[in-house]
Amino acid sequence: MGELFMEDMGKWGTLTRYVEHFLRLKTFPVAMKLLETPEELKKNKWVRKLDRKATLCQLISKVRVFDWTVGATAEDLVGHSCSSMLGLTKRPPEVMNGSFRSMVWCKTKEDGRKCEESIPTIPAGKYKAVMLAPLLYDPFDPDIVLIYANPAQMILLINAIQFEGYERLQFFCVGETSCSDAIAQCYLTKKPALAIPCYGERRYGHTQDDELVMALPPGMLEKVTKGLLELYKRGVRYPIPYYGVECDPTEGLTKAYGGFASKQL
């Protein structure tokens, strides 16, 4: 596949270019790296440390839209949700017992407790900081790759994952705190994790109404590009062309599936 782009882009840059090419993404895929010491942030000359508190989704948006490299510790992140999901801190008792969640999102404290218990988080204790950058620049070997895309682009991404070594994919939704459905879920299972961006990510991270997010284990990105290429060769491409809701679909299906389709129609 290397003939399409410059070979000196580096591994992650080359793979990113292929994903961007086949899916026509609107924003940069994001590389996320969890760090065991805050000092590691200083080793990357491109890292911007913010001068005010932020949510994780604000940082992600700065990377995928502004083209920035950013870093943060628990002290840089507002509240407990972002830092605890990343494993930088633990959730306090008043959160785990449902008090916090029942203030807005759940009817009762018990509902809030059930919600908190369902939220996947990266285990606390190992990591002290997080660094994010556009994957295109080969910034570092990421722990997780985040791709934001519309539903049509996302189903082709799923098709690419399933093209070889098929597996039925399962995704989750805890409601608010969608970053856990993507980032923590992917980290814990080492499998792709698709999420519907939550109210908070839309309000503070400016995720758009047509966007979904998928977290991928970095090692799966090459599988994704190969799957997208093979699907492209078979005519499965983005944008998906409309056939027409009042047309007889027989001709289109026959072109796609040949004689097999004619026997089934």
Q: What is the DSSP string of 62-103?
A: HHHHH--EEEEEGGGBSTTHHHHHTTSS---HHHHTSTTGGG
CA distance 108 to 98: 8
For tokens 């508190």, the residue is 53
Distances (CA, A) of 66 to 48, 55, 170: 12, 16, 31
pLDDT of residue 34: 98
- The type of residue at 110 is E
Task: State the angle between helix axes of 221-233 and 151-162 in degrees (0 to 180), rounded to the nearest 10.
Answer: 100
Alpha carbon 213 to chain centroid distance? 4
Spatial CB neighbours of 114, under 8 Å, sequence gap ≥ 6:
98, 106
Per-residue pLDDT of the chain (265 residues; tens, 9 = 90+): 545 554 567 999 999 999 999 999 999 999 999 999 999 999 999 999 888 999 999 999 999 999 999 999 999 999 899 999 999 999 999 999 999 999 999 999 999 999 999 999 999 999 999 999 999 999 999 999 999 999 999 999 999 999 999 999 999 999 999 999 999 999 999 999 999 999 999 999 999 999 999 999 999 999 999 999 999 999 999 999 999 988 999 888 888 888 775 566 6
User: What letter does residue 241 receive in the DSSP assignment?
Assistant: P
Spatial CB neighbours of 229, under 8 Å, sequence gap ≥ 6:
1, 18, 22
